[in-house]
Structure 1
Amino acid sequence: MHPTRGLRASLALAAALLSAACASDIPRLPDDRAVIEAETEYRIGPGDLLSVKFFYTNDLNEDLVVRPDGRISLQLVGELMAAGRTPAELSSDLQGLYAAHLLKPAVTVIVRGFASHKAFVGGEVKGPTAVPIDGRTTLADAVFQAGGPLDTAALSSVILLRKGAEGREAYRVDLSDGLMGREPLPVLRPYDVVFLPKSFIGKVGMYVELYINRIVPRNGSFMAFYELNPVDIPNTNTPAAGSGAGGQP
């Protein structure tokens, strides 16, 4: 799929989730700091350049690029999956495989070149785009790489889409709390999608633009009325007159 089409499809999915349910219905991303810090360890991906080094059998040393399917091919042991593993995990995997062939299968994996892993940022940001991530890029970093949030963004209800064990998962992240240091911000993974929805004020502004400014004449008594008599937005949390604790139903 073309990158631009993939970005549009992912952002459309995030918007569809919001239209199908209130943001409060989407679960919050678990904010356990140990889990989030564990995610910062780099995981190998397609296109990465790896150096496989043997301490006692130098003729097996080689540099290779992880294939698009995430696999690598090595002498004696053949193909194995490298994508999704940390360098330490892959080193351990190789040591176990080479134990059947070598007396001293001490081996290490070094990532020499990093492929351009990306996450997608859209919604109420100044420049919706795909942004490069390096294993340490937080959600806030990505938002500011996309130009930063617009004034109309609902920072307390940012949607994070990511691939989970059972397919695409959606989480709600409070970016405003994260920026203030009140909760940790998640480190992004390749192909995460970050979507900033409109705030209530932003939606009101869009409504005024679409349904009032484009319909009401731009001169005469209509505009004078709206300029001199601004419309009050009702507070839906205020009990109606004659009801509640102080009134009769």
Structure 2
Amino acid sequence: MPSPTHHANADSRHLGFPHRHRIRHWVSRCPHLALFILLFALTACAPKPIEVADDSSFARNSFSTEIPFADPEMIRLHEANLTHEYIIGSGDLLTVDIWNRPKLSGEHVVGPYGNITLPMLGEFKIGGMNRKKAAKLITGLYKEFYEEPIATVKIIKYMNNRVYVLGRVANPGVIHFSGQATLLEALSLAGGLPTRDKTIFLSKCYIVRGKDQIIWIDLLKLLQRANLKLNISLANNDIIYIPESMDAAVFVMGEVENPGSYQIQTTGLSMLDAINLAGGPTEDAQTGKVRLIREMPEQEGVKTIDMDHMLATGNLTQNFLLLDNDIIYIPKKGVATFNYYLRQIDPFLRTFISATIINESLKD
């Protein structure tokens, strides 16, 4: 006849509590699980998330308003001060030709400080000028030695007209232009988006111009909607930075077919959009109690949303547009959700998610 100890051990195995030596074995083999259990113990006493009122920061504010994208009118203002003549600078290869004076003519590479060396004149600072202005000044200097000299300046290789394309492109680095450059040309020459992950797209970029200008461009409108009014002309030494599209993401967890992280497009991603991207609710989903969890100024806030009522009535006022790092959690029907959550979520995905969802689960 089995002993009471045997029954206790059988019960403990049934409930999922292994022997002490098995616990030590799990800790040694699964340090991430051990850390998650520790996080659960620490978050058990964490404050419950705030149930947010309808007139709160969960209002339907588009994600796109979080970034001050330049509209066509603003882009025209940024382009108004651009020069449309090439400015000579360091690295340019050019010729200075003095008519009928072959000994004075020749090729020059503009030095790092914008200087070239001219016969009889010595060092001449040509950097910062266009061709016409440089030719006029050189002509004036040679008038001291020759009667009616005529100087012309030709650029053979353009090296000063450059922009820097950095971030999420195939070939980040310096791009040189022979004339007026645009954002689309720069992105094309930088190789566009690397193809190792087809789920990542170009969604936004910013241009740093000088010391006091940052210009945000909505690449979805420019590239996917062909709004060429956003194809801004570039200035010399502009820095174009394309951040990772995954920098803005939401998490769809719980009873959905494909729980995980999903990107926010700058045109806005709603709660229903995100659930659809995650494959939709499972048969066991408690869709009458969908939780939308958002980081608030001091702790998390949560909205409990009756998705069944929303779809049945067509009232989409609670189909909130999502913000970066929002979490959508769909609990399971009729059972505590923590065990499901423990099996599904990576404990290193977001540390604060555990406290929020555990607290929400304990209320069920």
1:193 aligns with 2:242: no
- Whether the 8 Å CA contact 1:162–1:169 is kept in 2: the answer is yes
1:218 alignment partner in structure 2: none
CA distance in 1 between counterparts of 2:279 and 2:214 reads: 44
1:183 alignment partner in structure 2: 229
- Distance change in 2, residues 1:87/1:152 (3 Å): same
Query: Percent identity at matched positions?
Result: 23
1:146 aligns with 2:190: yes
- Whether the 8 Å CA contact 1:178–1:185 is kept in 2: the answer is yes
CA distance in 2 between counterparts of 1:85 and 1:208 reads: 56
How far 1:55 sits from its partner (Å)?
A: 1.2
- Whether the 8 Å CA contact 2:165–2:240 is kept in 1: the answer is yes
1:42 partner SS: coil
1:160 alignment partner in structure 2: 207
2:163 alignment partner in structure 1: 119
Q: Which runs of 5 or more residues in structure 1 are unaligned?
A: 1-21, 215-223, 238-249
1:58 partner SS: coil
Q: Deviations over 1:200-247 (max 9, x none)?
A: x86124x569xx849xxxxxxxxx99862596865269xxxxxxxxxx
1:102 aligns with 2:146: yes
CA distance in 2 between counterparts of 1:122 and 1:44 reads: 24
- Distance change in 2, residues 1:178/1:78 (3 Å): farther
- Distance change in 2, residues 1:197/1:235 (3 Å): farther
Quick check: which has more Rg, 1 or 2? Answer: 2
1:172 aligns with 2:239: no
- Distance change in 2, residues 1:196/1:232 (3 Å): farther
CA distance in 2 between counterparts of 1:34 and 1:204 reads: 32
Q: TM-score, normalised by structure 1?
A: 0.60
Instruction: State the AA in 1 paired with 2:121.
Output: V
- Distance change in 2, residues 1:94/1:193 (3 Å): same
Once the two structures are superposed, the pairs formed by residues 24-35 of structure 1 within 5 Å of their partners are 24=68, 30-31=75-76, 35=80
How far 1:113 sits from its partner (Å)?
A: 2.6
Q: TM-score, normalised by structure 2?
A: 0.43
CA distance in 1 between counterparts of 2:132 and 2:181 reads: 21
- Distance change in 2, residues 1:154/1:105 (3 Å): same
Instruction: State the AA in 1 paired with 2:107.
Output: D
Q: Deviations over 1:161-199 (max 9, x none)?
A: 123xxx353223455565535526333344321123466
1:59 partner SS: coil
Q: How many residues align?
A: 197
1:235 alignment partner in structure 2: 320
Q: Which runs of 5 or more residues in structure 2 are unaligned?
A: 1-65, 194-198, 254-258, 262-277, 293-318, 323-364
Q: Name which of 169, 173, 176 aligns with 1:130.
A: 173
